[in-house]
Amino acid sequence: MQVIINASINTLKKSETLLSQLSNEELTNISIGPYYSSIGSHLRHIFDFYNCIFCEEKGVIDLTSRERNTKVESCCLTASEHLTHIINKLNDFNTENKNIVVIDDLGTGKTKINYTIEALFAQANSHAIHHYAIINYIIDQLGIKVADCEFGYNPSTPKR
């Protein structure tokens, strides 16, 4: 379990590096198709997933109950503070694996799914990397150079 928590922290720290390089205007830019979404909206979405995990109640985690804090997606400083809070919670998380129930909407309405907390953290990490790939596309199209050349790539992606 600690390996998965550490992987999540390492993945999320890539957001720190990115946020330190962006302006609020770049964070909120929605000019790039085909989805016209912003870097900030993707980061906020990633952070929401982790926040859902931290809001567990009696062994139930509702992934449809997201904060959707628009300040996080529009202000680099707020996003960085929010990210620090998430990383601190991960560092303090009880790493004992346990069974949980996850509520999610898979396209047909809310459903309950049996999980382990370990599997959910692994999913959160993969989910973050997936959104980093989209962010990487946006960054490329905006002509922003990122210091982390592996940003947006899954660790299992073959290197050229």
Q: What is the CATH number of domain 2-142?
A: 1.20.120.450
Question: Is the bond into 158 cis (omega within 30 degrees of 0)?
Answer: no
| CA 55 – CA 35 distance, rounded (Å) | 30
CB 125 within 8 A of CB 7: yes
| pLDDT score for 115 | 97
98-116 tens-digit pLDDT: 999 999 999 999 999 999 9
Tokens for 116, please give them.
Answer: 């382990």
| pLDDT score for 127 | 97
How would residue 159 be classed by pLDDT, with cut points 50, 70 and 90?
Answer: confident
58-71 tens-digit pLDDT: 999 999 999 999 99
7-39 tens-digit pLDDT: 999 999 999 999 999 999 999 999 999 999 999
Instruction: Give me the phi and psi of 104, to 5 degrees please.
Output: -145, 165
pTM of this structure: 0.95
Alpha-carbon distances of 52 from 20, 66, 90, rounded to whole Å: 25, 6, 13
